[in-house]
Amino acid sequence: MKNVIMLAGLLILTSCMSFSDKSLRPVRDSITQQMPEIKLEKEFAVSFGGGVFNLIDVLTLNAADVSDMDHVQVAVYKVSAGRHDLDFDDLDFEESVQAKDGDLVWETIVRVRDEGEQVWVLVGMDSERNTLEAVAVFVLEEDELVLINVDGDLDRMIEFALQPAVEHRGRVRTS
């Protein structure tokens, strides 16, 4: 029985997992179209489908409650800029993620510029349903660009994550 369960788990994990950046290629292509002086070469990519998150929920007896996520994609690219400095200030990241998820309205909610590192966090909203459907994170550090994309019913996940805080709201600690 143990072998059957392990085989089924392995089958689910491998069928819902990919080491390709195919799902993030439209984003990569949009970036290189906006900045033709750079080249993005894939170093690493992994993509998880909904089956992995359903399995995690089963194994944790729904304590994690991540089954509302549909996909998580991560890709790391080596950025070659020739003689140019890497400056993504003029890059329109909303346009880049729009190439992947054109049905969503994208908005940058966080932008951080530290020496040697830049971070952008964007959210994709379904304006008809007024729901949060995706989060995209871009991290540029020296000559590496990391793209992270999470799709799913993120409203329910945020609600689940905040539930412990809601239950403790209004309690006063005395020490």
CB neighbour class for 68 (10 Å; exposed up to 12, middle 13-18, buried from 19):
middle
Q: Which residue in 166, 152, 165, 138 sits closest to 68, CA to CA?
A: 152
> What is the predicted pLDDT for the residue at 90?
80
Cβ proximity of 79 and 138 under 8 Å: no
Other CB atoms within 10 Å distance of the CB of residue 171: 6
| CA distances in angstroms from 107 to 59, 79, 131, 132, 136, listed in the order given | 35, 24, 13, 11, 10
Q: Which residue in 106, 86, 104, 95 sits closest to 27, CA to CA?
A: 95
So where are the chain's domains?
Answer: 2-167
Q: pLDDT 10s per residue in the chain (175 long)?
A: 566 665 555 555 555 556 778 888 999 999 999 999 899 999 999 887 655 555 555 555 555 555 566 678 899 999 987 766 667 878 899 999 988 888 899 999 999 988 888 999 999 998 898 888 889 999 999 889 999 998 877 766 677 666 666 666 666 555 5
Provide the β-strand partners of residue 150.
72, 135
> What is the predicted pLDDT for the residue at 21?
84
Cβ proximity of 152 and 104 under 8 Å: no
- Collapsing DSSP to helix, strand or coil, 128 comes out as coil
> What is the predicted pLDDT for the residue at 153?
73
Provide the β-strand partners of residue 124.
106, 134
Query: Which H or E element spans position 116?
Result: none
Query: Strand 144-152 relative to strand 131-141: parallel, antiparallel, unpaired?
Result: antiparallel
